[in-house]
Amino acid sequence: MASVRAASRGITVYSLAAFLCLLLLLTWTLIWSSATLKVDRLIHDRWVSLSLREPPSDIVVAGIDPESLSALGRWPWPRNIQALLFERLADMQVKAVVVDLIYTERSDSQANDQKLVDAIERLPMVFLPVLTEGTQGNSFTEKLPLPQLSRAATDLGHINLPIDSDGIVRRFHLKAGSPSPHWSAMALAALEHIEPNADDILRSLPGRRSPSATAQMVWQGDYEVHIPFYGPRESFRTLSVLNIINGRVDPEALKDKIVFVGMLSTGLNDIVPSPVSARNQSIPGVEVHANVYAALRDKSLITAIDLRWNLLWGAVLLPLMMLLYSRARMQWLLLLAVGGALLPIFVSFLLYRFSQLWFAPLSVSVPVLVSYLLWSWNRLDFINRFIERETLDMSAQVQRTDYTHNTLLAEFFETASKHLPIKGWRFSAKGEEFSGGEAIAERDEIDIHEQWLHANGVYRKRYPTPGRLSISLIVDSPYVAGEITDYVDSLARVQERIEPSRLSGSIERLQSNAVKLSDQMEWLRSVQKFSETIMAGSSAGFMVWNSAGELINSNIKIYSWFPDLPSEALLCDFLEVVGKGAVDTVDEERLARLVLHGESSRVTFTQDEQEYVISFDTVGEHLKDRLICASVIDVTDIRSVERARSEMVEYLSHDLRSPLISSMYLLEDLETSLSNDGVEATEKVQLNIKRSLTMMDDLLQVAKADTLSAENFDELLLNDVLDNAMDQLAPQAQSRSIALEQPDSQCEVWLDGDPGLLERAVVNVIGNAIKYSEDGKRVVVAMELSDNEQMVTVSVQDEGVGIDSAIIGDIFKRFKRDARVAKQFKGIGLGLALVAKVVSQHGGSVEAESEGQGTCIKMRLPIKFVEYSLDEQAASVGRSIQ
């Protein structure tokens, strides 16, 4: 039910689509209201500043600067002086002159006007401006230059500079006029006549088109472009008009140049702010036209993208951000949102720099940031509601004990003092005092700190709890005192008393709820760990399924007993494996009673001489809640002991009696015989008696090994065990010229065990090596440390007949022998069985290796500790018994 409730408040496809539509509506609102226009303009100006470049060298600005006005008088100058300027330019063989000066009215002297006309006619190309008066969108009037000047000029063009609402000139119309945009910009008009490839530019003019005007006498602009300024004021080569008139300019400096003539002095209403004004000061209008002309020629004018395309940008970017939000980790969401918001800005710069397009990015970037805020709010609200609901549900299920009662802590110390080296204890809390064991003197609380202090054999600590809990301990063993104090600190009976400071605790509701849920989850994890520890450490195997037969849980032991089980074994898989060796199988009827009715059952399973008892039980009253549990107990050892006892009795009653009876008959024959055969008969009697005694001794040792317990182990030196075993067998080896060798050992290995049985096990292994070896061979007894000196391996290597590979895995079982040598070498098969039993009882393992000829028996035993001798004379040295 919890998952259904959580899903009902989660983000679905429908809610995600609604959220996306809301963000797109926000994008449209930002576009419609121009809410981001001011910041977008700042970004545009920044792109202009980052895109500055070297202006062309063939464009020169001839400016009427303050120096010229100071020398020649206030503007306007007499037309004859202005004519002198154009005459000088004609003499210098300029390529063209673009004039940003108004000549719509006659001067006081007609002769001077004619001189100006004559001077202009001398120039190869001259372009004059059309004066417009009015405000954009309202009634406009157009005033042309004087008729004689218009006839003398190569072409006319408008010089209107639209100023944005923040007072900065960024845009320009290549076509404009009233009522229709019939005038080319003066820079465009000049380009049409000056540049040889002007037709290519004119066929595909840049700029955003404007709809046709419906009102009469309204100024209309077309082909709107943004000006990519080459630089701040005076980026183009600038010359003073005074210097040109006075002949102080080298004619070669202006030969074949395009000269823009206009005002450079402030105060004459022809200085405008621009995106690059911050670098210096406002830029003259004539330089603006020079920038437009140069940008037209190198095709770098910027066209603004229609803001309606921003909706498409949002429709692509916002779903991508939604996808990233839903998949990314919480700590990455802010970086993703910032990256998503910066992406349109970065794309805007790339478009401006490399595609000559202006894309206003903020109407897309702002919704990305808003999407992060709304998504985070929804996620946090969902998480908080979920935590509160789960905390409430779990509070009803988790039955926790109030561990703050002093009696519970006192019970802990009473119990711990019986099992841990705690000789005395004392604690006080909530005005109560408890103590036990050796008496501990009282101490002023001012001397007890919030950490464990050790003084005079007493460990003391005061905890930051409302009840002023203080604990004092006398620990008998200083080596474990730290672990005991850490154990006390970790007790729930101590931790639940500690309350966090109001200043250090979280004041945020979500975090507080998360802490509560974390505490409850920690308790459940401890319960789970407790149950898993029990399952893992149990001597029985467990498997649990639901009513559909799906595996819920299991421990590793059951897979070691049943290696054929798949990793996620179904109930039917387990029953199939069990059915192959079960004495009484679980048929369909019993399975139905087990699953549907919860009826328990038990079967016995045998596999490779291993015997198990399998119990099936169920938990849960209803089918939807029912769990089917299988517990498996290994009863092989119990059965083996029972069989061994019966077999031992059989051997004692039959095989051991036969040699004795034979001995009796031989003795009778000996009594009636007086021939030399008596000696031979006596030897046979002795041989039979020795064989019987050996078998009886083996049986007694096996019986003793079956009852061996670690409680009766003593500390022993393994080196002595090996030496004693080799000394016992030295005469037997010498009689057959077999060399017993033991490599050098520079350490003493100590174990916990039974020295007698260990020695007997080693004697059995070395004795077999001598027994199954030919005369003159050698037997090597070695000792090697492994697993970081946690284990020692005793290996016995011979050069004998070897062991058949078909039986090598069974030679450590009782009464198992190699059939190839059974007739040649007498025995009953208890020697290696005794070895395996003794090593196993000591927590070790034994294995045999044989590759055709020769056998190596390896016994691995756990080490208690190892001592290394610095004196080579005191160290154990290798032995060789010839």
* Last-in-domain residue among 361, 394, 427: 394
What 405-410 contacts at long range (C-beta under 8 Å, 24+ apart), as own/partner pairs, is 406/430, 406/432, 406/434, 408/493, 409/434, 409/491, 409/493, 409/494, 410/434, 410/436
Residues 138 and 230 in one domain: yes
Residues 653 and 778 in one domain: no
Residues 716 and 698 in one domain: no
Give the tens place of pLDDT for each residue, 691-713. 665 666 666 666 666 666 666 78
Give the tens place of pLDDT for each residue, 280-321. 578 999 999 999 999 999 999 999 999 889 999 999 999 999
Residues 95 and 192 in one domain: yes
Q: State how far the alpha carbon of 580 is from the alpha carbons of 407, 544, 554, 635, in Å.
A: 56, 21, 21, 18
872: confidence class by pLDDT, cuts 50, 70, 90: very low
Q: Is 483 inside a domain boundary?
A: yes
Mean per-residue pLDDT for 648-656?
57
Q: Is 434 inside a domain boundary?
A: yes
**Cα 358 to Cα 43: distance, rounded to the nearest angstrom:** 10
Q: Is 520 inside a domain boundary?
A: no
**Is the pLDDT at 645 greater than 50, yes or no?**
yes
Range of the domain at 820: 710-881
Mean per-residue pLDDT for 2-23?
70
Highest mean pLDDT range out of 33-42, 551-560, 675-684? 33-42
Q: Is 302 inside a domain boundary?
A: no
Q: State how far the alpha carbon of 264 is from the alpha carbons of 162, 287, 729, in Å.
A: 19, 9, 122
Q: Is 387 inside a domain boundary?
A: yes
* Last-in-domain residue among 464, 495, 526: 495
Give the tens place of pLDDT for each residue, 373-407. 998 888 888 888 887 787 777 766 665 666 778 88
270: confidence class by pLDDT, cuts 50, 70, 90: confident
pLDDT for the residue numbered 503: 46
Residues 615 and 476 in one domain: no
Q: Is 518 inside a domain boundary?
A: no
pLDDT for the residue numbered 446: 46
**Is the pLDDT at 774 greater than 60, yes or no?**
yes
pLDDT for the residue numbered 2: 46
7: confidence class by pLDDT, cuts 50, 70, 90: very low
Collapse the DSSP code of 282 into the 3-class scheme (helix H, G, I; strand E, B; otherwise coil) and give the result.
coil
pLDDT for the residue numbered 6: 45
pLDDT for the residue numbered 811: 77
**Cα 179 to Cα 141: distance, rounded to the nearest angstrom:** 10
Residues 759 and 806 in one domain: yes
Range name among 19-28, 369-378, 644-653, 847-856 with the lowest pLDDT average: 644-653
Count of C-beta atoms within a 10 Å radius of residue 498: 12
Mean per-residue pLDDT for 108-131?
92
Q: Of all residues in the chain, what percent carry a pLDDT higher than 90?
A: 28
Mean per-residue pLDDT for 796-813?
78
pLDDT for the residue numbered 453: 87
pLDDT for the residue numbered 316: 93
**Is the pLDDT at 581 greater than 60, yes or no?**
no
Residues 212 and 145 in one domain: yes
**Cα 548 to Cα 595: distance, rounded to the nearest angstrom:** 9
Pair 158, 183: CB distance under 8 Å: yes
748's tokens? 């003493």
34's tokens? 């121009």
For the chain, what is the largest distance between any 2 Cα atoms, rounded to a whole number of angstroms? 182
**Cα 295 to Cα 229: distance, rounded to the nearest angstrom:** 8
Q: Is 117 inside a domain boundary?
A: yes
Pair 64, 262: CB distance under 8 Å: yes
pLDDT for the residue numbered 674: 45
Residues 175 and 263 in one domain: yes
**Is the pLDDT at 873 greater than 50, yes or no?**
no
- Average pLDDT taken over every residue of the chain: 81
* Last-in-domain residue among 653, 682, 702: 702
Using a cut of 0.75, tell me whether the model's pTM lies above it.
no
What is the count of structural domains for the chain?
A: 6
Q: What is the β-pairing status of strands 237-240 and 59-64?
A: parallel
pLDDT for the residue numbered 4: 42
Q: Is 569 inside a domain boundary?
A: yes
pLDDT for the residue numbered 138: 55
pLDDT for the residue numbered 124: 94
Domain with 741 in it: what CATH number?
3.30.565.10
Measured in whole angstroms, the distance separating CA 201 from the mean position of its chain's CA atoms is 56
Range name among 155-159, 351-355, 637-641 with the lowest pLDDT average: 637-641
Residues 672 and 780 in one domain: no
Residues 81 and 17 in one domain: no
SS3 content of the chain, % helix, strand, coil (to 5): 45, 20, 35
Top-confidence residue, 869 or 323: 323
Give ∠ CA 792-793-797 in degrees, rounded to 5. 155
Q: Is 376 exposed, middle or buried (0-12, 13-18, 19+ CB in 10 A)?
A: middle
Domain with 645 in it: what CATH number?
1.10.287
Q: Of all residues in the chain, what percent carry a pLDDT higher than 70?
A: 80
pLDDT for the residue numbered 1: 45
pLDDT for the residue numbered 683: 62
Mean per-residue pLDDT for 627-655?
71
Cis peptide before 179 (omega within 30 of 0): yes
Residues 214 and 114 in one domain: yes
650: confidence class by pLDDT, cuts 50, 70, 90: low
**Cα 511 to Cα 522: distance, rounded to the nearest angstrom:** 16
pLDDT for the residue numbered 284: 92
Residues 371 and 277 in one domain: no
